[in-house]
Amino acid sequence: MSVPPAARTDTSSPNQGNPGKWIAATGFLVLLTELTALGLSLVSPALGAFAAKYNTTQISWMIAIFLLVGAVLTPVLGKLGDRVGKKKILVATAFAGVVGSVVCALAPNYGIMLLGRALMGASGTFVPLTFSLVRDVFPKKYRSLSIGLATNGAGVVTILGPFLAGFLIDQIAPEAIFWFYAALSLLGAIGTILFVPETPIRNRSAFDVPGIIGLAVGLLALMYGLTNISTWHLLSGRTLTYVGGGAVILLAWWMWERRAAAPFLDTRIMASRPVATVVLSSSLIVSTTMLATSYLPTMLQTSRSLGGDYGFGLDATGVAVYCIAGGITTVLAGVVVGIGSKRYGLRPFLLLSGVFAVAGTVTLALLRTQPWMPIVGFALVGAASMSMAAGAALIMQLAPAKSRGVSAGIQFAVQGVLGSAIIQAGGLILAGHVKAVAPTGAPVYSSTGWILAIGALGALIALAGIAIAALIPKQPKEAEAATETNELVAQPQPSF
């Protein structure tokens, strides 16, 4: 397939000859995407302090409500970005983060604290909105690297987050983490307003209110049920009600979208082989990295004196030191995809990320006795994070220009659901292999438990991701160029 030279029009800004503008734009967008990870890494070390302050045993909801709101709002705000402009939604979401973090810092009671955390949860939309905006307006030569930095910049938070949280909590006050978050959100919002161009692409279709409500309610019920499996137990009535009910609602939503005149999401696109295989394969591999990241601190903090054959008795700072290598490889993975995809395409990197995921989880599960072993294992898991950059960039290639925001949002929602389910599955496996209980009440798991929960489960999920990634059709560069031309040639130029 060939495309006439005159037709190969790019909608990126006419200022694309000024690299400084694009570097600044990338910097502020990456700052926003870092806030998603910071919303967790800054708060987790302070949970004990806030539990004492508010005299609550439900402190885990400071994390849960942040994740739940993010999972529900991601596709909804992505759709709004397609309609009114992704830059506008990014800025509005950043200001919501400012308000939410100030509410948290000043919260007189736990209910107000959770309200603030819910507002902060909107930051879960930063990553998909950012890479869909990058795809719309950035010059082609900067796109892949910028998307890679946006999706994998969280590696910086992996390295610095725990140290930063420790300084703010110990040297100032636990509430300082929220003032710091508010300042970064405000800086990101102002920088985005000044340096990031708005997309000219708009989706003017009618607003599918039943579709929005169905998706939001279904995701909320499903994620709420998955989050509480470890507390309610797998086959309890509440688990079956929320997980089963959410699944039924989402099925009904899908059927509605197939028949709606102006659907919230074009199911024909999402169900097509190219898009479905990218979403599912990348989500499975990303979920494997989430599994390893969730349980590695437990493995490192357990003392060997309790009778297990793993653990180093580390405190939070010690865990952060062990995770530095994984944070570095996470960032490098995004850079490698951004640079290498220009020559090799994106599909090979998605396949390679699955190989790293298998190697990383198996290493963590089997090699547990020497300090260097978990460092190497987590570094391999970090390298598997190239699945985030490759999957995001592939979706931006495949999704129609007017549906990039919602498509990216759906991809991240699927990752959230699968990741939560797989993490809970790993927890259930570990719960069945408790060999002792520490004086603090923390369980000590058997080596078989770790091998099954991290090694076997992680490797199987990653292998499934590899198998599905192998089914992704190869997309010739000329066909991609033609697709881009057909969608964008008539669009006006973006402006700063």
Burial class (CB in 10 A: 0-12, 13-18, 19+), 5: exposed
pLDDT at 11: 44
Same domain, 368 and 413: yes
Q: Are 145 and 28 in contact (CB under 8 A)?
A: no
Do 411 and 275 form a contact (C-beta atoms < 8 A)?
A: no
What pLDDT sits at residue 153?
A: 62
- pLDDT for the residue numbered 75: 85
User: What pLDDT is stored for residue 27 in this prediction?
Assistant: 84
Q: What pLDDT does 158 receive? A: 67
- Domain shared by 107 and 225, yes or no: no
Domain that includes residue 460, residue range? 272-480
- Say yes or no: 225 and 292 in one domain: no
Q: Are residues 225 and 333 in the same domain?
A: no
Question: Which backbone phi and psi does 437 adopt, to 5 degrees?
Answer: -130, 130
Opening angle at CA 383, ends 335 and 39, nearest 5: 80
Q: Contact, 97 vs 122, CB < 8 A?
A: yes
Task: Give the DSSP H/E element, type plus range, for residue 385.
Answer: none
Distance of CA 205 to the CA centre of its chain: 28
Specify whether 308 is located in the same domain as 357: yes
Token pair 């959410």: residue: 246
Exposed e or buried b per residue across 329-350, where buried means at least 16 C-beta atoms within 10 angstroms of its C-beta: bbbbbbbbbbebbeeebbbebb
Q: Which residues pair with 5 in a beta bridge?
A: none
How many domains does the chain divide into? 3
Phi, psi of 455 (to 5 degrees): -70, -60
SS3 state at 451: helix
Instruction: Read off the pLDDT of residues 378-412 as tens digits, 9 standing for 90 and up.
Output: 999 999 989 988 888 888 888 887 787 888 888 88
Rounded to whole angstroms, how far apart are CA atoms 151 and 136? 16
DSSP string, 424-454: HHHHHHHHTTEEEE-TTS-EEE-HHHHIIII
- 496 residues of the chain, pLDDT tens digit each: 333 333 333 444 434 557 778 888 888 888 888 888 888 778 877 877 888 888 887 777 888 788 888 888 888 888 888 888 889 999 999 999 999 999 999 999 999 999 999 999 888 888 888 878 888 888 877 776 777 766 666 667 667 777 787 788 878 888 999 999 999 999 999 999 999 889 888 887 777 888 888 988 998 888 888 877 877 887 888 889 999 999 999 999 999 988 888 888 788 888 888 889 999 999 999 999 988 888 888 788 788 777 667 788 887 778 888 888 988 898 888 888 888 888 888 899 999 999 999 999 999 999 888 889 999 999 999 999 899 888 888 888 888 877 878 888 888 888 888 888 888 888 888 888 888 777 766 678 888 889 999 999 999 999 999 999 999 987 644 344 444 434 443 344 454 4
User: 394 with 475, same domain?
Assistant: yes
Instruction: State the residue for tokens 């107000």.
Output: 112
Inside any domain, residue 351: yes
Interatomic CA distance for residues 256 and 248, integer angstroms: 12
- Please give the distance of CA 412 from its chain centroid, rounded to a whole number: 6
Number of Cβ within a 10 Å radius of residue 432:
13
Q: Is residue 485 part of a domain?
A: no
Q: How far, CA to CA in Å, does 411 sit from each of 143, 307, 394, 491?
A: 19, 42, 11, 25
Q: Is the CB of residue 309 less than 8 Å from the CB of residue 369?
A: yes
- Establish if 160 belongs to a structural domain: yes
**Which pLDDT score is estimated for 12?**
43
245 CA to centre of own chain: 25
CATH of the domain at 137: 1.20.1250.20
Choose among 121, 104, 122, 101: nearest CA to 112: 104
Distance CA 125, CA 81 (A): 10
Residues 391 and 443 in one domain: yes
245 inside domain = yes
Query: What pLDDT does residue 106 have?
Result: 95
Distance of CA 334 to the CA centre of its chain: 14
Selection from 145, 399, 144, 394 nearest residue 281 by Cα: 394
Sign of CA dihedral 82, 84, 87, 88: negative
Q: Do 243 and 283 fall into the same domain? A: no
* 360 and 237 within one domain: no
23 lies in a domain? yes
Q: Residue type for 457, please?
A: L
Rounded to whole angstroms, what are the CA distances from 256 to 138, 198, 215, 253, 284?
35, 32, 11, 5, 26
Give the other-Cβ count within 10 Å of 374's Cβ: 28
In this structure, is residue 40 part of a structural domain?
Answer: yes
Tell me if 104 sits within 8 A of 117, measured CB to CB: yes
Q: Is 42 part of a structural domain of the chain?
A: yes
219 and 293 part of one domain: no
CB 3 within 8 A of CB 481: yes
Q: What is the mean pLDDT of the chain?
A: 82
Assess if residue 309 is contained within a domain: yes
Q: What is the largest CA-CA distance in the chain?
A: 73
Are residues 29 and 125 both part of a single domain?
Answer: yes
Cα within 13 Å of Cα(129), Cβ side = 35
Of 36, 56, 40, whose CA–CA distance to 48 is shortest?
Answer: 56
pLDDT in tens, 109-168: 999 999 999 999 888 888 888 878 888 888 877 776 777 766 666 667 667 777 787 788
Are 188 and 219 in a shared domain?
no
